[in-house]
Amino acid sequence: MTQNSSIGHGDNLFIDGQDLWSDLMETARFGGTPKGGVRRLTLTAEDRQVRDWFVRTCQELGCTVTHDSMGNQFARRAGQDDSLPPITIGSHLDTQPTGGKFDGILGVLGGLAVLRALHRAGYVTRHPIELINWTNEEGSRFTPPMMCSGVFAGVFTEQEVLDKRDRAALRFGDELEAIGYRGSEPCGQHPVTAYFELHIEQGPILEAEGKTIGIVTGVQGARWYEVTVRGKDAHAGSTPMPMRHDALLAAARMIEAVSTVALSHAPTAVGTVGLIENRPNSNNVVPGEVFFTIDMRDPDDAVVQQMEALLYDLLPEIAERSGVSVEIVRIWDAPAVHFDPACIGMVEAAAEESAYGARRIVSGPGHDAAYMARITPTAMIFVPCLDGLSHNEAESITEKDAEAGASILLKTVLKADAAFNNV
C-alpha cells in the first residue's frame, strides 16, 4: 500500500454497493432458513462458519485478524502511525432464532466495505482502522444481550459471562472453546480511539419520513426480568376450578399487566413478554409452574424505574389473588445512553455533504455501541428497513440504502481520523 502524506486525498474512495450486497447474501447462507431469514445463534456451528468467513475475507484485504477471550473479533488495517489506538467500527453477526439478513450484519459487512474501499484505493489512514464482530449481541441464546461488548466496557466480568448457561444448561465458556474462538487477549485490554456502528433502524420512522440516514443520538433505557410463577400441578379432569392453583392462568394475567404498565407510560414506553415456558406442558395437567421474561424500555430512565415499581406491585397482587407465588429477578439494567456530540456531528456532516435526507433519532433497541459509549467517543448510523420490521425472517432493506449507510460510515471514519489526535 502507498502511504499518503495527507489524510485529505480520499476523493478516489467509494463504497462498492454490489460487493456489499453480495457479502450480505453470502453470509445469509450460514444458518439460512427456508423463509429467507437467518438462524445463527451465538457459539453454534453456524456462528463458527460465519466467523471463519470473516477471517478469510478480512485477511484477503490485508488485515490482521485476532480475537479476544470473549471471542470478539478484530480485523485491523494498519495506519500511518500504527502506534495510535485504532478507530473502530463494527456490530455483530449472531442473529435471533428467526432473524433476518441485516440486523447487526449490515454493521459488520458495511465496515468490511469500508476496509475494501481503503484497500482498493491504496489509501492509508493516520490511525489504524479496526472492524469488530462482537460476540452475543442478541442475547437470544445466552442472556443478557451485548454481553461481550459489556465485558469489553467493564459492565460485566469475564468470569460471570463465561459461566452463563443457555436454556439447555450449556455453559458459555465451554461453547466458546468448542467453536475455537476463545482468545488469549483479556477482553477489554484493547485500545480504541472512537467507535462507530452502522445498523438498520429496526423501526418505521426513517421509512415513513422518506429519510435515508438516521443520525443516532443515543439509546433508550432498558431492563430485563425473569419471572417464575409457581402453583400446583393437578389433574385437569378432577380438580374443581375454585380449588386450582393454575400457574399459567396467573401468568396470563401478569403478561397482560406488563402491557398495561407500558401503556400507562405511553407513548414512549414499551413492554414485552417474548419468552414463556409452561410446565409440565401436558394436555390434561393444570400447569404448576411458568417461566417468562419481561423487556421494559423508555428513553427516560426515571420512567423505566416507575414501570419497574409498578410491575413489582402488580405481579405479586395477581399472584396472591390466583393462589400462586411469583419470583421476579432483574437480569439486565441498561440505562439510557447519550452518544458523543463530536461523533454525532461527524455523522451529521457526512450526511449533509452526501446530500442524503437525514434526521436525528434515538434508538429503541440496544446495541453494542451503548456499552462502547461508556469508554470511548461513540455514535451510530441508521438506514431504513421495510415497514420497520426486524428480528423477523422477512427483514428487508434496499441495496441502495445499504450502500448509502456504508458510504456515510466511510466518510465518518475519515473525519474521525482527521479529528482525533492521540499522540
Domain with CATH 3.30.70.360 in the chain: 222-333
Q: Return the SS3 of 110.
A: helix
User: In DSSP terms, which residues pair with 219 in a beta bridge?
Assistant: 337, 363
CB 295 within 8 A of CB 348: no
As a residue count, the chain comes to 423
Q: How far apart are CA 392 and CA 36, in angstroms?
A: 10
pLDDT of residue 11: 67
Q: What is the DSSP secondary structure assignment for residue 400, as one 8-state letter?
A: H
Domain with CATH 3.40.630.10 in the chain: 17-220+336-419
- CATH entry 3.40.50.10420 includes domain 222-333: no
Q: How far apart are CA 56 and CA 381, in angstroms?
A: 26
Contacts of 315 (CB under 8 A, 6+ apart): 227, 254, 257, 326, 328
Q: How far apart are CA 126 and CA 118, in angstroms?
A: 12
Q: Is 245 annotated as a binding residue?
A: no
Q: Is 391 annotated as a binding residue?
A: yes
Identify the residue whose cell numbers are 386450582.
244
Digits of tens for pLDDT over the chain (423 positions)? 333 433 445 568 999 999 999 999 999 999 999 999 999 999 999 999 999 999 999 999 999 999 999 999 999 999 999 999 999 999 999 999 999 999 999 999 999 999 999 999 999 999 999 999 999 999 999 999 999 999 999 999 999 999 999 999 999 999 999 999 999 999 999 999 999 999 999 999 999 999 999 999 999 999 999 999 999 999 999 999 999 999 999 999 999 999 999 999 999 999 999 999 999 999 999 999 999 999 999 999 999 999 999 999 999 999 999 999 999 999 999 999 999 999 999 999 999 999 999 999 999 889 999 999 999 999 999 999 999 999 999 999 999 999 999 999 999 999 999 999 754
Q: What is the DSSP secondary structure assignment for residue 84, as one 8-state letter?
A: S
Q: H-type helices in 288-328, by residue range?
A: 301-322
Q: Is 92 annotated as a binding residue?
A: yes
Q: How far apart are CA 194 and CA 120, in angstroms?
A: 24
CB 115 within 8 A of CB 108: no
pLDDT of residue 1: 34
Other beta carbons less than 10 A from residue 220's beta carbon: 24
Which has the closest alpha carbon to 213: 377, 78, 379, 325? 379
Angle in degrees, CA 165, 168, 173, rounded to 5: 35
- Measured in Å, how far apart are the chain's first and last C-alpha atoms? 23
CATH topology of domain 17-220+336-419: Aminopeptidase (3.40.630)
pLDDT of residue 421: 75
CB 85 within 8 A of CB 193: yes
CB 255 within 8 A of CB 273: yes
Q: How far apart are CA 201 and CA 20, in angstroms?
A: 18
Q: How far apart are CA 47 and CA 325, in angstroms?
A: 39
Pairing, β 221-230 against β 213-219: unpaired
Written as nine digits, the cell of 90 is: 463494527
Q: Is 138 annotated as a binding residue?
A: yes
Q: How far apart are CA 36 and CA 409, in angstroms?
A: 27
Contacts of 387 (CB under 8 A, 6+ apart): 204, 207
pLDDT of residue 72: 98
Written as nine digits, the cell of 415 is: 473525519
Q: How far apart are CA 252 and CA 314, in angstroms?
A: 13
CB 368 within 8 A of CB 147: no
pLDDT of residue 364: 87
Q: Is 81 annotated as a binding residue?
A: no
Pairing, β 73-77 against β 378-383: unpaired
Q: What is the DSSP secondary structure assignment for residue 119, as one 8-state letter?
A: H
